Structure 1
Amino acid sequence: MAELQPFPPGGRRVDRPTEAALCSNCGELVGRGYPDCAICAERIDDLWWADWRHLLSSTGVQAGTDEELDLARRVLSDEVGAYPWTCTDWALWLLRCAECGGQLGSGDPGCVACAASDAARWAWDHQALQHRRMTPNEHALRVAVAGLRAPHRHRSAALAGWRLALPFLFIGQLPTTSQAQRIRAHILAGRYDELARLDGFCAMASLPDLPWRSTS
């Protein structure tokens, strides 16, 4: 049964920074250019790649081979919790969807196979959070990365929220529910550029209301 699986932790083989820093390539905070900026992508994806690299080493499989693709299929077909969530994601990134040809789980928005694969990945989070094998920050980090890797499947406001959040999720921060709601309200009000200049969730949530939007 899935609940008997070990739920090995993911994303913990690489030390994360403690402060958000500017990317030397895109000029944004590291992570905000993900996945288009090469350096942002390298820094964020390294959390996933370190776990996948360990799995390759432990199974004697070489990267870039047909055996690696077979391993990816085994990871996705095994019980939930048998592998780190980072390995589940990496396996999805490696494989192509047989129906739409896109990256499995991130292909055409109308593709049933991709929708099923994307939905299946979140079973790990639901069960691991319940059993305290995953932190809320790790869950939020995973959601943001998965969303930004499939921008054609999400609304622009959601993408903006994930771009704003990723640099701070990367260093271990997590917004409260009220902070997240207020930041989203600012995004919907067209204040992304103002939010992007602020340092952290607290600062973004504390952005003053525009005078003509305040209530008397």
Structure 2
Amino acid sequence: MDGIVEGEWSAFLAGWGVSSSQEAKVLAEMVVAEPERHDWRVVDAALDRLVCSECGGRLSRGPVGCSACALAHGFRYAAIETDRAGVPWGNEHAIRVNVSVVRRPQVTSANELLARRLLLPLLLVGILPGTEAAQRMSALVKRSPPAQRARLIEQAIEEALRREGERSQTGR
């Protein structure tokens, strides 16, 4: 998952001709100051390279209650979000939100984190579950015994993959 962010950051640095860690830090500060001008992956990567003045952790990834990290996290959503070719509208947003949740595990419930983590591969291959499927997975998380939760969500994701494969074979 971090590779999604890191690959885009590397390409961004190369595009700017950045050759030193000091230049990369200055560029990260610039990106964070104007997130609306950059791809969300670049903004996330830039945040990872800056230290929070309040908690001392990576900016936006600090503990619950760190106001500077909460503010930086909110600004990450001002970044540009471009859907990839060949995927349903909204897929990129779903990837972005899931990555955001998984990268900040301390601010969400264990159930939500598990569901987001397990759903991410489905999103990355371009499948965007509909409202009904998402609600079914959410209900599964809430009602399943903890020991069986991960396996049941994996089964629901496998079912969604199977349905998507059948749909693409029939052209519907």
TM value normalised by structure 1: 0.65
Q: Is the 8 A contact 2:115 2:153 kept in 1?
A: no
Residue 59 of structure 2 corresponds to which residue in structure 1?
A: 104
Q: CA deviation at 1:201?
A: 6.1
Q: Is the 8 A contact 1:168 1:201 kept in 2?
A: no
Q: RCO higher in 1 or 2 (8 Å CA, sep ≥ 6)?
A: 1
Residue 114 of structure 1 corresponds to which residue in structure 2?
A: 69
Residue 20 of structure 1 corresponds to which residue in structure 2?
A: none
Percent of aligned pairs sharing the same letter: 34
Secondary structure of 1:68's counterpart equals helix
Could you give the per-residue CA deviations for residues 17-57 of structure 1, whole angstroms, max 9, x where no partner exists? xxxxxxxxxxxxxxxxxxxxxxxxxxx33332232112211
After superposition, residues 31-110 of structure 1 pair within 5 angstroms as 44-62=1-19, 65-78=21-34, 80=36, 82-110=37-65
Tell me the distance in 2 between the aligned counterparts of 1:92 and 1:103.
Answer: 7
The one of 127, 134, 154 equivalent to 1:180 is 134
Aligned residue pairs, count: 154
Q: Is the 8 A contact 2:35 2:75 kept in 1?
A: no
Residue 140 of structure 1 corresponds to which residue in structure 2?
A: 94
Residue 167 of structure 1 corresponds to which residue in structure 2?
A: 121
- Cα 1:102–1:170 shift into 2, 3 Å: same
Residue 155 of structure 1 corresponds to which residue in structure 2?
A: 109
CA RMSD in angstroms comes to 2.2
Tell me the distance in 1 between the aligned counterparts of 2:24 and 2:123.
Answer: 30
Q: Is the 8 A contact 1:175 1:201 kept in 2?
A: no
TM value normalised by structure 2: 0.80
| Structure 2 residue ranges without an equivalent (≥5) | 84-88, 163-172
Q: Is the 8 A contact 1:137 1:169 kept in 2?
A: yes
